[in-house]
């Protein structure tokens, strides 16, 4: 009995999502990279395997607060050296960070969440782009997305407004500029200022649906869903603590005043006289006249007009 020939074995190269090939060492001429690495916002388990690998393998970690970052590094037994990079030393630390990038990778981290969102990390990223440094941003933890998707407010389009101004006049002006915004508004606020902010929101926005997301991913995570007035009453009785994401429903324009019957008939008959089918004429008019499509259709159904094709 003849044996079937063995299939030719070929070595397959599998490309993984981290850009490396299985069984292959990194290229010796790999370009040093500035990695933007998200860190947990409360639960130390909320970090990706890829982020941990980058933190272990990079030459230096640029941290908003090295004391906070050290807790994370010690938890995962990572010994990479870290240097501080924050609002008060960002100018003096640039040279040291870019010197490290000449010979190795640097990971940029914030105290919690994704660097560059409402922190000085974006300025380091801008300078890296200007100098032609390779940048790689890792996906990961952020407070605003979990808060948004759990809020119950529309998520198809939204506006991130960052941290709200502290001074009352600046806050009112800031909110006034957003008063006609139709998308869901997402911002960060301090628990110490939440009641003042809710008061300003009610004065500028009026009655709006709202969600206050507190302590996302932490032990005392909480969501308040209601309107602005109810939120004010709730937090007067229950002073808030911890990190807060504030989400406000977008502006809904008031419905236009409905046309009277004479105006509807005049517009409908003009369309019919021009040869438009009754069904399409009724549908088009219903979108602008404030009448239900069926009611517009019935106005035309009793009039003599050529049958629809």
> pTM score, two decimals?
0.73
The per-residue pLDDT for 87 is 85
pLDDT at 304: 60
Q: Token digits for 118? A: 């409402």
Report pLDDT for 279.
92
Q: What pLDDT shows up at residue 188?
A: 96
* Ranges of residues in the chain whose predicted pLDDT is under 70: 1-29, 304-309
Q: Are 216 and 243 in contact (CB under 8 A)?
A: yes
Spatial distance between the Cα atoms of 272 and 275, rounded to a whole number of angstroms: 5
For residues 125 and 97, the answer to whether their CB atoms sit within 8 Å is no
Beta bridge partners of 186: 160, 247
What pLDDT, on the 0 to 100 scale, is given for residue 29? 57
Give the per-residue pLDDT at 16.
45
């Amino acid at each position: 009995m003849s044996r079937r020939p063995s299939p030719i074995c070929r070595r397959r190269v599998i490309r993984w999502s981290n850009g490396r090939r299985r069984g292959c060492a990194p290229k010796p001429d790999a370009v040093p990279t500035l990695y933007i690495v998200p860190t947990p916002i409360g639960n130390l388990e909320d970090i990706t395997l890829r982020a941990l690998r980058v933190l272990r393998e990079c030459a230096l970690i640029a941290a908003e607060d090295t004391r906070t970052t050290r807790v994370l590094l010690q938890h995962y037994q990572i010994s990479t050296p870290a240097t501080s990079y924050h609002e008060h030393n960002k100018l003096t630390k640039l040279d040291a960070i870019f010197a490290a990038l000449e010979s190795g990778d640097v990971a940029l981290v914030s105290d919690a969440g994704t660097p560059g969102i409402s922190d000085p990390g974006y300025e380091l990223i801008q300078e890296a782009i200007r100098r032609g440094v390779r940048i790689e941003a890792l996906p990961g933890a952020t407070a605003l997305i979990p808060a948004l998707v759990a809020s119950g407010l529309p998520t198809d389009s939204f506006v991130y407004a960052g941290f709200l101004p502290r001074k009352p006049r600046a806050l009112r002006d800031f909110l006034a500029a957003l008063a006609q915004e139709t998308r869901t508004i997402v911002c960060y606020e301090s628990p110490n200022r939440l009641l003042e902010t809710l008061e300003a929101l009610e004065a500028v926005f009026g009655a709006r649906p709202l969600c206050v997301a507190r302590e996302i991913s932490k032990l005392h995570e909480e969501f308040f869903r209601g309107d602005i007035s109810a939120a004010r009453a709730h937090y007067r009785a229950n002073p808030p603590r911890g990190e807060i994401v504030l989400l406000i429903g977008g502006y809904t324009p008031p419905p236009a005043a409905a046309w009277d019957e004479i105006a509807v008939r005049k517009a409908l008959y003009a369309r019919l006289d021009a040869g438009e089918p009754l069904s399409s004429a009724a549908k088009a008019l219903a979108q602008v006249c404030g009448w239900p499509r069926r009611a517009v259709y019935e106005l035309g159904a009793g009039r003599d007009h050529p049958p629809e094709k």
